Structure 1
Amino acid sequence: MNHAPVPIVEDGPPPAAHEAGEQHPIRVYLVVWGYLFVLSTMSYLVDYFHLQGTLRWTLIILFMLLKAGLIVSIFMHMAWERLALVYAILVPPLALGTLVLLMSIESGYTFWTRVLFLGGGG
């Protein structure tokens, strides 16, 4: 039996492949620079208006994470990388942050258990 080869049909160009030497438009970098400038200004305004307490730290951390996300995704080219590489870079810090949160919760429980049963926390 002689079978004819099955033709390969291509539906247009291949998916967004990252070709060697490919340049991204300068507009992308200028827009991100503008966002970073605005976020830095807003971070400065938190101190300028003397915000205090939880609101202050929530805003500072929010602006910091937004700026870090822009820098990593655009200037470090993570927005154009394979998903496996993105997971390899982002999952370990997220796992560590989760573990730190769990340890923080556990430390509070341990402290109050000592206060309750041993009569002191120190």
Structure 2
Amino acid sequence: MAEATANGLGQHALHASHAHEAPAAVAHADEHQEHPIKLYLVVWAWLFILSTCSYLVDYFGLQGYLRWSLILIFMILKAGLIVAVFMHMAWERLALAYAIILPPILVLVFTTMMVFEADYTLFTRLAFFGSGH
């Protein structure tokens, strides 16, 4: 077989043995999934509704943690819709979805932990060292 490969004959035999797999691979690559236009219109409507709600938070003059919580919730919902539908993540393999979605979630978890740690550190410094005035 080494002599046949050196002469190029082995390559033809190699390709001929996998010839039955090639059309299936090409056919699978040529397939594409079309989604109904209604899906995209519903997502556009939800994005409009969520953007309106985000605007209303400012319009009604909400302040403090409620304001920022609502703005962040609306932002995450809009980003989730965009990623799921327009970037087709809803139809991807679960491993790929985890690879893209899990890191930002972990960043949020660790950031939350840092905020609580910072508050605790500030509290202990004020308790033991005073206000510094």
TM-score normalized by structure 2? 0.71
Q: In structure 1, what is the equivalent of residue 103 of structure 2?
A: 92
**Using a 3 Å threshold, how does the CA distance of structure 1 residues 84 and 19 change in structure 2: closer, same or farther?**
farther
Q: Larger C-alpha radius of gyration, 1 or 2? A: 2
Q: How big is each residue's C-alpha offset from its partner over 1:20-64, in whole Å with a ceiling of 9 and x where there is no partner?
A: 332211111111001101111111111112222222222211111
Letter in 2 for 1:84: A
2:88 & 2:64 partners in 1: Cα distance? Answer: 35
Q: In structure 2, what is the equivalent of residue 106 of structure 1?
A: 117
Q: In structure 1, what is the equivalent of residue 25 of structure 2?
A: none
1:87 & 1:104 partners in 2: Cα distance? Answer: 25
Letter in 2 for 1:80: W
Pick 1 or 2: higher relative contact order, CA cutoff 8 A, min separation 6: 1
Kindly report the root-mean-square deviation, in angstroms, between the aligned alpha carbons of the 2 structures. Answer: 2.1
* 3-state SS of 1:47 partner: helix
Query: Is the 1:78–1:86 contact (alpha carbons within 8 Å) kept by the matching residues of 2?
Result: yes
Q: 1:82 aligns with which of 82, 89, 93?
A: 93
1:92 & 1:121 partners in 2: Cα distance? Answer: 39
2:29 & 2:37 partners in 1: Cα distance? Answer: 17
Greater helix fraction, Structure 1 or Structure 2: 2
1:77 & 1:18 partners in 2: Cα distance? Answer: 16
1:118 & 1:58 partners in 2: Cα distance? Answer: 33
2:109 & 2:29 partners in 1: Cα distance? Answer: 33
Q: 1:70 aligns with which of 70, 81, 85?
A: 81
* 3-state SS of 2:62 partner: coil
1:67 & 1:22 partners in 2: Cα distance? Answer: 23
Q: In structure 2, what is the equivalent of residue 36 of structure 1?
A: 47
Identity %, equivalent residues: 58
Q: Which runs of 5+ in 2 are unaligned?
A: 1-27
Corresponding residue pairs, total: 106
TM-score normalized by structure 1? 0.77
